[in-house]
Structure 1
Amino acid sequence: SKALGVLMVLMGVFFLGMMPWLTQREFRFHKRPVAGLVGAPLLGALFGIGWTPCIGPTLASVLALSSDQASAGRGAILTVAYCIGLGVPFVVAAVAFRKALGAFGWVKRHYVWVMRIGGGMMIATGLLLLTGAWDGIVQEMQGWSNGFTVGI
């Protein structure tokens, strides 16, 4: 926790722009994959690799709940609910694409403040990890859900 706290504080300081010798760089491939059926598997594989850290733990939890504590029907319902929860934001973003561009434009215009607020939050979380207060907060929040049972 302490090592990760230090890392989070350093990343927060970096986000604040207080390390000018470590400028923010991004690396892009400027060659676009072939459109159509040939490029689709490559695009899907790259998308899957990018989302694995986000989706993997949640999907593993859903599948573990499905297999460990449920019948096949309940497992199917939990998995369908997970898929709907994952897919609906993409559908909404596609339908509201023009509005989403406006929101992204706002973020671009206020980029400096978005980075400062994000950096401040990272520093605060890192300090909570360093002092051990983060563990107390997590335990308190776990206490809130002790009596919770899943309705499905």
Structure 2
Amino acid sequence: MIGAGSISTTLQDRLARLFAGVGSAGGNTLARIRSEHPAAQFGVGALLGVAWSPCVGPTLGAAIALAATGEGSAQAAVVMTVFSLGAVLPLLAAGLFSRSAFARFRERLLAAGNGGKKLMGASLLLIGLLVLSGLDKRLETWLLDFTPAWLTELTVRY
């Protein structure tokens, strides 16, 4: 459903109407916050945390599980540090990329976002079809024949 919704503008419109109330509530809340006061910035960060939690939860769980299965605390620290950098750097970049820069590149960013949405939707549909047909296992076997041994060992070690 998500894949089809990402590709079809008709489904996108229907989903947008379905969730318009939630988006409007968040947008209205953010529009009321105009202050540069630290408390206002904390509030925006808290709202971002609420919106981000469902997305980051599974990834954070996987990182914690990977760190827990490590051979020591140093390995766990490295895993969590890499996860933290991966989570923080895009947010930091977005925060530093000013509103004026976003406005300047708005049309190009929207076009890239629409293209990326369609690509993601097609990928999700393809993966779903591969899993449903069982072809994902054949593809995995075929890819393992071409993968260097060190890479295969790295992926199954954790």
**Is residue 2:4 matched to residue 1:15?**
no
Count of residue pairs brought into register by the alignment:
142
TM-score (norm 2): 0.59
Partner of 1:84: 85
- Which string of whole-angstrom CA distances, capped at 9 and with x for unpartnered residues, describes residues 19-53 of structure 1? 59937423312244554344445433332222223
AA of the residue aligned to 2:82: A
Partner of 2:46: 45
Partner of 1:125: 127
- Going from structure 1 to structure 2, the CA distance change for 1:56 and 1:21 (only over 3 Å counts) comes to closer
Cα RMSD, aligned residues only:
3.9
Uncovered stretches (5+) of structure 2, i.e. residues with no partner: none
Higher RCO (CA-CA < 8 Å; seq separation 6+): 1
Partner of 2:74: 73
Secondary structure of residue in 1 paired with 2:74 = helix
Structure 1 position 148, deviation (Å): 1.5
- Which string of whole-angstrom CA distances, capped at 9 and with x for unpartnered residues, describes residues 69-122 of structure 1? 232222222212221222222333444546665554214247765555454444
8 Å contact from structure 2 (residues 7, 118) kept in 1: yes
How many percent of aligned residue pairs carry the same amino acid?
Answer: 18
Partner of 1:147: 153
- Going from structure 1 to structure 2, the CA distance change for 1:48 and 1:139 (only over 3 Å counts) comes to farther
